[in-house]
Structure formats: structure tokens, C-alpha cells
Amino acid sequence: LLIVSRILGGFSAGMVMPGVTGMIADISVGRDKAKNFGYMSAIINSGFILGPGMGGFLAEFSHRLPFYVAGFSGCVALILSIALIKNPKNSTQDGFTQYQPELLSKINWKVFLTPIILTLVLAFGLSAFETLFPLYTADKAHYSPLDISFAITGGGIAGAIFQVFFFDKFMKHFKELTFI
């Protein structure tokens, strides 16, 4: 059951990202786009890092408590999303042409192969880190769930600070496509 819930969670998280990035692109003006994407990345990564950190802290009380808190937080996020998120008024649809399926055959799909493989490898790397780091440190260094949560959370906070305060300045030296 845990494996099925993990698959469903990953599938759901993957479906959220196109909407989030599309909305940020729609509501951002050119000069703020990199900064807004940096904020988005920092917030999402903070959740990925602080979530397991909080889970390790809560697991000190009960191994079921992190699941209850995550379920409750998900319900609150759903309600807030429905209540607060509106369609952007200044959409960037002006200038786009009608979708023409026959144009898909003219696209050089080989160009997308490297980014797709890179994304797949990075996703597996993050997943492996989230899974193996706690197992390794618990076995070899005798870390408790609280110790593991502090280690993961500390690294995540450092990464989030970089993304919020330095990503925009970093992107001024590179073009978006060069960086990607």
C-alpha cells in the first residue's frame, strides 16, 4: 500500500508542475521571470526538504504521526488552492497561433531526447537520495530519525537560501536557454 501511495504521490506531483510553471510564466513580466522561477524552485525544494525533516521530528513521537500530518496538510492545501488561486488576467496567449497537429511531424524530436534523459536521471538521483540517505546514516552512523531530519533540513535550507537570494543574480550572467 505504501508503494502504491508513493507512486500516486509522484504522479500527482508531476501533474502539478506544468500548471505552476505556466501560471508563473503568465503572470511574470520579463525582468522578474527568473526571480519568480527562483522563488518557485525554492518553495518547492523547501517542501521536499522540510517535509522529510518534519517527518523525522514527528516520527520521534509516533511512526504514524507524519502520515496524519501530511494528509491533513494536503487537505488544507487543496482547500486553499480552490479558494485562493484564480486564473491569471494577463495571459501570454496573444500572438499564439491555433494548434495544428500536422506541425508535430515537423518537429525534430531528437532535440528533446537529452533533456528528457537528464530529467529522468536527476529525478532518480533525488529519489535515491531521499531513500538511501536515511537508511545509510541510520545503519552506518547510527542516526536517529531526528538526526536525519536535521541533516536533510540543514542542506535544504542552505539550498533554498541560495535560490531565493542568489538565483536571480546568477541568472543575470546567463541566458535562460544556456542555463537550461
pLDDT tens digits along 23-82: 888 888 777 888 888 888 878 877 777 787 788 889 889 989 998 998 899 899 889 988
Query: What percent of the chain shows pLDDT beyond 90?
Result: 11
* CA–CA distances in Å: residue 48 to residues 58, 60, 180: 16, 19, 21
Q: What is the pLDDT of residue 177?
A: 60
CA distance 121 to 108: 22
Q: What is the mean pLDDT of the segment spanning 138-148?
A: 89
Cell of 87: 486564473
User: Largest alpha-carbon pair distance within the chain?
Assistant: 59
Q: What is the mean pLDDT of the segment spanning 154-162?
A: 81
CA distance 123 to 117: 10
> Which one, of 67, 100, 81, 66, lies nearest residue 23 by Cα?
81
Domain boundaries, given as residue ranges, for the chain = 2-87+108-179
In terms of pLDDT, which residue wins out, 79 or 163? Answer: 79
Whether 141 has a pLDDT exceeding 90, the answer reads yes
Mean pLDDT of the chain: 80
Alpha helices in 60-112 (DSSP H): 65-84
pTM score? 0.59
Any idea which of 9-13, 34-38, 95-99 has the lowest mean pLDDT?
95-99
User: Which residue's C-alpha cell is 527568473?
Assistant: 34
DSSP state of 14: H
